[in-house]
Amino acid sequence: MRVNYTVVASTKDVASLSILNAVSLRYPEIPTEVIEEELVFCDKEIFERFSGIIFASRHESLSLMPSLLVHAPGNWGEVFHGGRKGGLCPTDARLMRRIAMALSARAANTHYQVMQECTHHGPFVEKTAIFLEIGSDEKEWTNEAAAGIIADSLHQALSVDDSAVNAIGIGGPHYAPAFNKLLAKGYAFGHICPKYALKDLNKDTLMQAMAKSQADIAILDWKGLGSEKQRIISLLEETGIKYLKNSEI
């Protein structure tokens, strides 16, 4: 079933408004909505009327790395920035792949890094949701060129479909380099559990990740599993989930 997406922005987020303005000006056919709350805390009934949600947002990092990012919302464990404990949102792996690849092509000659991040932060919504972000400081958040690249990439990604293999990613660092490399090989990642959150990957969160990513397989960043390797393998075998190491692809 095709999902009709609405781009949602917050008045408390300048990057959010930059993206929404670019989308509205260039592609008025894409529905938009502005709310007053911070996006990560807006577990609101208003979203019940949406089929799918693209949260336009700022990205913050200590490195201040200029970046264009996409990821699924959710918490593997404790809540630090909105959402529910151990609650993952339904997401769209193939759309995120198409967005990431379109961003990479359009930003190839710019100073921006393009990545699909691991799953993190709220809000918790029961509609298909993704985050689309500009990082990582106010100069970039208000950069019209960056917002334009995002708007054009989003429109391109929404205009087509594909048959990439839906997967979840397990292990590795926050910016998921092993999984980003596999996008060009026909794998689309929904939820990604980084090494720092593996302690919270259990039967419940694993099954949520598979179902809410509509995933066919789990891909393991083998070197990024650390001491959790055997437990993760046992968990996957217990639940009957097919898996591959990233080095096997």
Per-residue pLDDT of the chain (249 residues; tens, 9 = 90+): 578 999 999 999 999 999 999 999 999 999 999 999 999 998 667 788 889 999 999 999 888 899 999 999 999 999 999 999 999 999 999 999 999 999 999 999 999 999 999 999 999 999 999 999 999 999 999 999 999 999 999 999 999 999 999 999 999 999 999 999 999 999 999 999 999 999 999 999 999 999 999 999 999 999 999 999 999 999 999 999 999 999 999
Which residues, 6 or more positions from 18, have their beta carbon under 8 angstroms from its beta carbon? Answer: 134, 141, 142, 143, 144, 146, 147
Q: Annotate 1-51 with DSSP letters as a single string.
A: -PPPEEEEEETT-HHHHHHHHHHHHH-TTS-EEEESS-GGG---GGGGG-S
- In terms of Cα–Cα distance, which of 181, 130, 176 is closest to 154? 130
- Look at residue 1 in the predicted model and tell me its pLDDT: 56
- Look at residue 43 in the predicted model and tell me its pLDDT: 67
Are 122 and 218 members of one domain?
no
CATH code for the domain in which residue 154 is found: 3.40.630.50
- Look at residue 49 in the predicted model and tell me its pLDDT: 84
The token pair at 213 is 């990513």
- Look at residue 62 in the predicted model and tell me its pLDDT: 82
Are 97 and 153 members of one domain?
yes
Are 29 and 58 members of one domain?
yes
pTM, two decimals, is 0.97
- Look at residue 63 in the predicted model and tell me its pLDDT: 87
Are 20 and 89 members of one domain?
yes
CATH code for the domain in which residue 181 is found: 3.40.50.10700
Task: Print the domain residue range for 61.
Answer: 5-158
Are 34 and 122 members of one domain?
yes
Are 144 and 210 members of one domain?
no
Are 48 and 130 members of one domain?
yes
- Look at residue 88 in the predicted model and tell me its pLDDT: 98
**What is the tally of structural domains in the chain?**
2
Are 239 and 116 members of one domain?
no
